[in-house]
A and B are shown apart, each in its own frame.
Chain A
Amino acid sequence: MTHYSRRRVLKMAGLVTIATTAGQLLPLPRLNAARPDAPLPGLDDFIQVSRLLTQQATLNTTVAHALMLALSQTQKGFISGLAQLKTVLQSQPALLQQETLTFAAADAECEKLAKAILGGWYTGVVGKGNHALYVTYVNTLASELMSDKLVPPSFSYGQMGSWATQP
């Protein structure tokens, strides 16, 4: 099997209860409090930054927890980078008004981190190649964006023929 690295991160987080978007019936994911074994410093900052970048009002806390742990494994100097990124985003709100994320040349590292965070939220994977860490399949933003029309592959849509009546 292609050796994507063992994803040990959520073992540290322990088993948590999450309520995901129940089918397509609830408009937003219900978030039950995540109770990791140890409180994760910087999680609030990470969620705040993620919210800014993804422009989603609410994000799944468990996925956030796992992403943060994964990013700290794959991105060098993640915590300080995160703080820097937060500063940049807060001081230059115009950055997020654009369509593409282009930072000033001086903030190139921040831009890379921002893209890694975005990639993690949208695809559920952090890192590249043999060192990629896999965080989630169903709860990616790419899946949730489409949840009114598509169900992630390998999950059933409904009774035979129900897909034909979609407008």
Chain B
Amino acid sequence: MRKLKQIALSLALVSGAAQAADDALIKKGEYLATASDCTACHTAEHGQPFAGGNAIASPVGTIIATNITPSASAGIGRYTEQQFSAALRQGVRADGARLYPAMPYTAYATFTDEDVHALYAYFMSGVKPVDKAPPQTHLPFPLNLRMSMMVWNALFLNAPGYTPNPAQSAGWNRGRYLVDGATHCSTCHTPRGFLMQEKQDAAFTGAQVGPWFAPNITANRVSGIGEWSQQDLITYLKTGRLAGKAQAAGSMAEAVTHSFQHLSEADRAAIAEYMGSVEDRQSPASGTSRFGQGSAFSQVNAFRGEPRSSSAGEEGARLFSGNCASCHGSSGQGTQDAFYPSLFHNSATAENNPSNLIAAILFGVQRHTEEGDVYMPPFGAQPNALNHLDDQQIATLSGWILQHYGNAEVNVSPAQVAEIRRGGPASPLVMLAQAGVGAGALVVIALLIAWLIRRKRRR
């Protein structure tokens, strides 16, 4: 009897320990999923966690994120760990079809087998299954031929896993592991080539992401964030802002809200350590960075006292005063606590690419961090827009802001505003791919006709 009790106790202990080990593995998987920001794409607004349905606007069309809950009918409930790993690191679905690189599997390829194991445990046991499948993705021909991704992957996909660099510190390696992998920074911040592949020799030097511009985050003092200290970058990742320098909006605001602020301080420090070593070889060695430009300025005296109906000059100043000055200050200086940022000494107004300024005006800025809700309302056509500004008004306003608070060399046209309003520049890839296929088809037909004619002649 005692022996039975002992066996039962051991079994209980073992299964208890196993349970504890399982819990720890799931927690580790949850942390990695947070670091990877799976939720940003795979959770729709007001939707169930990881149930998909989010329509991601890409330059080649709309891609709809899938349900990755452990639902057997609508999600990945039937996936083995092998299949999960293949999807995550090689872009191959369980049914063999290829994923589009809107799913950043090129980055997630960096994950080690242990981390994939933890992620698998989380997605199988730590997430609630949702039995509703989102709509399918339909890209225009020929991009809807998923097997075309096989060629693309052969050209641009790395082998899975991460090899540490023994010459660097543990922190640096952890940072690189995260940056290249889970936090997939290069998928936004690295410019892409014609076939939409990341340009390795221009890594992290900045790229357009829909209506927003993901800036240069190399350690270059002029073009990148080289003048930031490591603590600066850690603060930015934790809070989404750095007073007197920059703040996160668009997808980066989402990334801070859902991912970066939840990382451990050590991981944020590791990321900062690694990024501090990333060079930008293309950039000029001298010049001013985008963080110290502009100064306090007010032009209200040009129209103060005049009724609104009179057409005093400086429409930009009037637009600024009526729409922006309340929060951003009568001279663009922001509030005392910098919660409402100053517009000078602010990278959003000093980039050579004005997309972020235009997009912030059109779409607003939303972030949720421990500090509180950051909410700048939009000024586009939305029902909740604080004021509906048209393309000409935003062009005038942006130009005025750039001239006085930022980079006075940059101009903004109404056509540019319209393009950002539409979701950013489109890629010619679709049209060219279609043209290419069309041309190829014509060539084949021409060859066929030539062959038929020759056959006929021989007879």
Contacts and interface: CB of A to CB of B under 8 A. Distances in A.
Interface residues of B, number: 32
A154 to B, nearest CB: 6
B337 A162 contact: yes
B307 A20 contact: no
A40 interface: no
Contacts of A154: 326
B296 A19 contact: yes
A4 B307 CA distance: 9
B297 A19 contact: yes
Contacts of A145: none
Nearest to B296: A22
Given A19-B295, A23-B335, A160 B301 contact: no
Chain B contact residues: over half helix, strand or loop, or mixed? loop
B299 interface: yes
B296 A20 contact: yes
Interface in A1-54: 1, 4, 6-7, 10-11, 13, 15-20, 22-25, 30
**Which of B295, B296, B312 has the most CB atoms of chain A within a 10 A radius of its CB?**
B296
B334 interface: yes
Interface in B312-331: 312-314, 325-327, 329-331
A4 B305 contact: yes
A18 B336 contact: no
A121 interface: no
Nearest to A16: B301
A137 B296 contact: no
A71 interface: no
B326 A156 contact: yes
Contacts of A135: 301, 304-305
A23 B333 contact: yes
Given A138-B330, A154-B326, A155-B330, A25 B336 contact: yes
Contacts of B330: 20, 138, 152, 155
A66 B303 CA distance: 12
Contacts of B297: 17-19
Interface in B384-434: none
Please report whether the interface of chain A is mostly helix, strand, loop or mixed according to DSSP.
Answer: loop
B372 interface: yes
Contacts of A20: 296, 298, 330-331
28 contacts: A6-B310, A7-B304, A13-B301, A15-B299, A15-B302, A17-B297, A18-B297, A19-B295, A19-B297, A20-B296, A20-B330, A20-B331, A22-B333, A25-B336, A30-B296, A62-B301, A135-B301, A136-B304, A151-B335, A154-B326, A155-B326, A155-B330, A156-B335, A159-B335, A159-B337, A159-B371, A160-B372, A162-B339
Given A10-B301, A18-B298, A138-B300, 20 more contacts: A4-B305, A6-B305, A10-B304, A11-B312, A19-B295, A24-B336, A62-B301, A63-B301, A134-B305, A137-B300, A155-B326, A156-B326, A156-B335, A156-B340, A157-B335, A157-B336, A158-B337, A162-B335, A162-B336, A162-B337
Interface of B: 295-302, 304-307, 310, 312-314, 325-327, 329-331, 333-337, 339-340, 342, 371-372
Interface of A: 1, 4, 6-7, 10-11, 13, 15-20, 22-25, 30, 62-63, 66, 133-138, 151-152, 154-160, 162
